[in-house]
């Protein structure tokens, strides 16, 4: 009996070891990528480029014709393309592994107001879903909690790490809040009319939000006889060190959210979702508020919206001068995050300039998340978080990665999915 138990323990241990990712070691060899078309992530492109990096940082970006000594290992990338690592905003990667298994679901907590809940400590760096992002160039992500009115605090991670401590590149960057809607639908399962109707409790819900933040502000300004963790967690909103990401859609709702946040003394605001944000662009511009849009592959929400509203909204807002990024919240969001570059490609196919569409995943996102001083573009002094693709990275037909680096570390592009692909390609003798 003991032999059986020991055998089971052995196979369980071996199985778990095989399932774990092995992050790349710290960069010890310099690299020079030569001959690729470099998309810098800020709208600029360098044909026949030379990019060199050492000790995790980019040390040269320019034309390959420049007479300069190549450093370390030279990668001939002629005919290929090099990009900054893509950044997924408003994602829940690593918080849920299998939707149907409750024990693997850590995306939300009980309660309505949880600004002190930190998504970072629940982040699973060994998630098989997380590793499947890298072959498409998604190398960083903002990990966001869900649920309640004030969902909690997000952090930003790189996607090749042993644990959440190694993964973190910016800790507790923002607090996330779901703004109520002024309309509601009836609960058909209770026999209510499912049609859209005015929510009589909308004003009451807003008053509760105002009261909560007012109480938090008063607590922070007064004598703290007894420590209140949720109120303590809001400090960064009032001193400007943290941003408030307001998940909100609708012209009235966005206007109310911005107005009330300003009244409460919260200046650093980001609008997430932003349906109808184009109708109040002047308000957004006046207050320098960026917008993180939802994925475009969905139907418009309103009956009178143009059929292609979700495809063209990025161009409309960008043309108005609003800083725009692309978020991942929605159905099967963790699995679909790997398609981030192709969502940007859809915006490009509907009027947005290709390099501007690229910025939705690079510089724009880095600016909104407050990490543009070290990632988001291919520039000297920034992290060597980048990848080489055989073709256009925003096109699923040509975004085939040959090499990828995070902080100069050459990472593996092998995942559970690529292993299965190779296995069954061999079975059916396909390429």
Q: Which of 269, 273, 245, 249 is nearest to 259 (CA)?
A: 269
Q: Which two tokens stand for residue 153?
A: 């605090």
CB 293 within 8 A of CB 271: no
Mean predicted confidence (pLDDT) in 64-82: 96
Asked whether residue 143 is assigned to any structural domain, the reply reads no
pLDDT at 11: 40
Residue 193 lies in a domain: yes
Return the closest-CA partner of residue 90 out of 285, 253, 324, 262: 324
pLDDT per residue over 377-395, tens digit each?
A: 999 999 999 999 999 999 9
- For residue 359, count other CB atoms closer than 10 A to its CB: 27
Q: Which two tokens stand for residue 8?
A: 């089971």
> What's the number of CA atoms in the CB half-sphere (13 Å) around residue 294?
19
Q: Please state whether beta strands 86-91 and 73-76 pair in parallel, antiparallel, or not at all (unpaired).
A: unpaired
Could you give the dihedral angle defined by the CA atoms of residues 259, 264, 270 and 271, in that order, rounded to the nearest 10 degrees?
Answer: -40
In this structure, are residues 89 and 66 in contact, taking their beta carbons and an 8 Å threshold? no
Burial class (CB in 10 A: 0-12, 13-18, 19+), 215: middle
Which tokens hold the place of 40? Answer: 């810098």
CA distance 139 to 63: 25
Whether 221 maps to a domain, the answer reads yes
Q: How far apart are the first and last CA of the chain?
A: 47
What mean pLDDT value characterizes the chain? 92
CA 367 distance to own-chain centroid:
12
Note whether residue 66 is domain-resident: no
Rg (CA), the chain: 23
- Token match 């943290």: residue? 242
Local structure of 177: helix, strand or coil:
strand
29 torsion bin: left (phi>0), alpha (psi -120 to 50), beta (else): beta
- 76 lies in a domain? no
Is 398 part of any domain?
Answer: no
CATH assignment of the domain containing 179: 3.20.20.140
Is pLDDT of 13 > 50? no
Q: What is the DSSP secondary structure assignment for residue 314, as one 8-state letter?
A: H
Using one digit for the tens of pLDDT, what is the confidence trace for 328-352? 998 899 999 999 999 999 999 999 9
Reply yes or no on whether the pLDDT at 307 is more than 80. yes
For the residues of 78-103, what is the DSSP string, one character each? TT-EEEEPEEEEEE-TTTBS-TT-GG
Q: How many CB atoms lie within 10 A of CB 242?
A: 22
Helix (H) or strand (E) holding 230: helix 229-232
In a domain, 319, yes or no: yes
Among the residue ranges 29-43, 87-101, 157-171, 234-248, the one predicted with the least confidence is: 87-101
22-53 burial by CB neighbour count: b if 16+ within 10 A, else e?
ebbeebeebbbbbbbbbbbbbeeebeebbbbb
Q: 284 is in which domain, residue-wise?
A: 170-375
Q: What are phi and psi of 306, to 5 degrees?
A: -60, 150
The token pair at 205 is 């819900």
Neighbours of 264 (CB within 10 A): 19
Percent of the chain with pLDDT strictly greater than 70: 95
Q: Give tens-digit pLDDT for 123-133.
A: 999 999 999 99
pLDDT of residue 188: 75
Give start and end residues of each alpha helix (H) in 43-167.
Answer: 128-131, 164-167
Report the half-sphere exposure of 248 (CA within 13 A, side-chain side): 28
The Cα 66–Cα 53 span in angstroms is 16
Domain total for the chain? 1
308 is a domain residue: yes
Cα–Cα distance for residue pair 336/416, rounded to 1 Å:
16
- Kindly state the average pLDDT of the residues 397-414: 96
CB-CB contact of 324 with 291 (8 Å): yes
**Which structure tokens are listed for 51?**
């990019």
| Tokens 């511009």, located at residue | 285
Rounded average pLDDT over 359-385: 98
CA separation for the pair 159, 21 (Å, rounded) = 11
- When pLDDT is cut at 50, 70 and 90, the band that residue 22 belongs to is confident
Predicted local distance difference test score (pLDDT) of residue 223:
83
- Give the burial class of 21: count Cβ atoms within 10 A of its Cβ; 0-12 exposed, 13-18 middle, 19 or more buried: buried
Give the 3-state secondary structure of residue 32: strand
Contact status, residue 135 vs residue 402, Cβ threshold 8 Å: no
Whether the predicted pLDDT of 14 surpasses 60: no
- How far is C-alpha 359 from the geometric centre of its chain's CA atoms? 13
What is the per-residue pLDDT for 430?
65
Least confident of 45-59, 290-304, 360-374: 290-304
């Amino acid at each position: 009996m003991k032999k059986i138990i020991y055998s089971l323990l052995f196979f369980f241990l071996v199985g778990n070891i095989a399932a774990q990712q092995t992050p790349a070691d710290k960069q010890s060899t310099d690299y020079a990528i030569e001959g690729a078309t470099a998309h810098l992530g800020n709208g600029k492109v360098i044909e026949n480029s030379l990019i060199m990096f050492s000790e995790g940082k980019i040390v040269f970006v320019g034309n390959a014709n420049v007479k300069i000594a190549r450093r370390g290992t030279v990668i001939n990338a002629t005919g290929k393309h090099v990009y900054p690592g893509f950044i997924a905003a408003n994602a829940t990667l690593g918080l849920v592994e299998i939707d149907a298994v409750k024990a693997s679901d850590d995306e939300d907590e009980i309660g309505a107001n949880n600004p002190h809940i930190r998504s970072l400590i629940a982040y699973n760096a060994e998630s098989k879903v997380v590793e499947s992002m890298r072959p498409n160039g998604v190398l960083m992500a903002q990990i966001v909690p869900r649920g309640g009115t004030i969902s909690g605090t997000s952090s930003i991670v790189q996607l090749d790490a042993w644990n959440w401590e190694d993964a973190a590149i910016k800790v507790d960057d923002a607090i996330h809040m779901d703004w109520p809607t002024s309309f509601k639908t009836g609960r058909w399962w209770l026999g209510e009319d499912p049609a859209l109707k005015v929510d009589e409790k909308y004003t009451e819900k807003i008053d509760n939000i105002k009261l909560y933040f007012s109480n938090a502000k008063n607590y922070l300004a007064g004598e703290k006889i007894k420590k209140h963790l949720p109120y303590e967690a809001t400090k960064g909103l009032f001193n400007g060190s943290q941003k408030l990401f307001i998940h909100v859609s609708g012209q009235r709702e966005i206007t109310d959210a911005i107005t009330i946040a300003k009244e409460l003394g919260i200046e650093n605001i980001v609008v997430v979702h932003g349906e109808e944000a184009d109708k109040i662009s002047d308000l957004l511009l006046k207050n320098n508020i960026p917008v993180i849009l939802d994925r475009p592959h969905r139907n418009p929400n309103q009956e009178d919206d143009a059929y292609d509203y979700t495809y063209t909204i990025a161009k409309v807002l960008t043309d108005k001068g609003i800083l725009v990024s692309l978020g991942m919240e929605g159905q099967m969001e963790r699995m679909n995050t790997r398609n981030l570059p192709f969502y940007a490609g859809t915006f490009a196919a509907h009027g947005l300039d290709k390099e501007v569409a690229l910025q939705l995943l690079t510089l724009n996102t880095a600016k909104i998340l407050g990490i543009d001083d070290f990632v988001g573009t291919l520039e000297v002094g920034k992290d060597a978080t980048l990848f080489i693709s055989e073709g256009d990275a925003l096109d699923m037909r040509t975004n085939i990665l040959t090499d990828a680096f995070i902080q100069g570390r050459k990472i593996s592009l092998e995942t559970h999915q690529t292993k299965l692909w190779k296995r069954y390609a061999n079975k059916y003798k396909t390429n």
